[in-house]
Structure 1
């Protein structure tokens, strides 16, 4: 099968928003489509390992921000390259809160939907949702997955690398400060070691697929590719 043929299907890029306890979760998706007009129904597909997907199942409703072509690359990186389990994504970008849900401030349109059905598959869950409201629509060209693949993804990767570098620098400064404070302590009692960090897993930075095979990731052949989006091993990071 020529999997590249699937890339000819036209998709936009969207940010989903959903309540997550006292905060918000969110993720970047490309599989969003209107499928009916009476009532207005929208189909949205989420990766099964997505924290946002789990939150949608609990909340039963969510928001959709339609991204514009001129969207800041970091917005795509922020919502597509990391998990809401680990990062409070909405604190990193400007957003508008409307009736309890956040939306990208400069989105082409904002849509609120209520889940009416779902279909579960091996890799994804498909939500069928009824449109509750649609607002703040403006003129402009939408950001498409094709535009992303044709070169915008390089800008997104650069933006994410800069973000990670800045965050790492901040963490290093924090650790240095903690070390200095510890050294100045007059206590001679040995300090207990910190608890071991959670086990890290190789994760695709493009689609979020987590490798959980029996063969160590480092021992996979060089031509091995992500089974979901098709990128190579170089697009995986230990997270």
Structure 2
């Protein structure tokens, strides 16, 4: 079975935000879709390891900011490569407004936001699917949305040779965020500590 077939699926990329106990947080997801038109509903799937996941479970509300081709890599680093349990992702960040639901949405490097009230949840194993009714949404710009392929080809920096690679060690490179695992083989159950993607999203770059 060729797991790289998953890379052929078309994904958008989004900043998912939530607010709980006075704390604002967000993470990067690629699993936001319109679930129904009457009533107008959206579904998202969120990794259970993400702090934003727990906030949505607690409050039943979230906002999705649709990332556009204007976005820089710093947006992905801020919201995708650190945990809200350990860092304030909005510290020193001013490119946001607060929606009617009290949740922040991103105003730079995005072209729309959609706010949702959760109606249903479904346990999917590593992820939880949240399905809800859209309560508010606005278009912010006409710049095209980022796809996962566009991010890989135009936004994410090309990997640089690491010290471990230069020493001739076997390095496994995360295709999503660039994290490197050093070892002859990567465990099948390994989860990237930065972006929470599984071992199947790592590629061997030195052998």
Q: Which band: TM-score by shorter chain? A: 0.7 to 0.9
Pairwise mapping of residues 101-120 of structure 1 onto structure 2 (< 5 A)? Answer: 101-106=103-108, 107-120=110-123
Q: Residue 141 of structure 2 aligns with which residue?
A: 138
CA-atom RMSD in angstroms: 2.6
| Aligned counterpart, 1:189 | none
Tell me, yes or no, if the aligned pair for 1:65 and 1:103 is still in contact at 8 Å: yes
TM-score, normalised to structure 1, is: 0.67
Taking the aligned partners of 1:233 and 1:95, their CA distance within structure 2 comes to 38
Q: Rate the CA distance shift 1:53–1:205 in 2: closer, same or farther, 3 A.
A: farther
Higher percent of residues as helix: 1
Q: Give runs of ≥4 in structure 1 deviating > 6 Å.
A: none
Q: TM-score, normalised by structure 2?
A: 0.77
2:184 matched to which residue of 1? 221
Deviations 1:163-200 (A, max 9, x none): xxxxxxxxxxxxxxxxxxxxxxxxxxxxxxxxxxxxxx
Q: Which one has the largest radius of gyration? A: 1
Alpha carbons of 1:82 and 1:4: their partners in 2 closer, same or farther (altered >3 Å)? same
| Post-superposition offset of 1:121 | 2.1
1:221 CA displacement: 2.8
**Alpha-carbon offset, residue 224 of structure 1:** 4.9
Deviation at 1:91, TM superposition (A): 2.1
Structure 2 CA distance, aligned partners of 1:17 and 1:233?
A: 33
> Residue 72 of structure 2 contacts residue 155 of structure 2 at CA under 8 Å; is this kept in 1?
no
Higher strand share: 2
Q: CA deviation at 1:41?
A: 1.1
| Residue equivalent to 1:184 | none
* Paired position in structure 2 for 1:128: 131
**Number of matched pairs:** 179
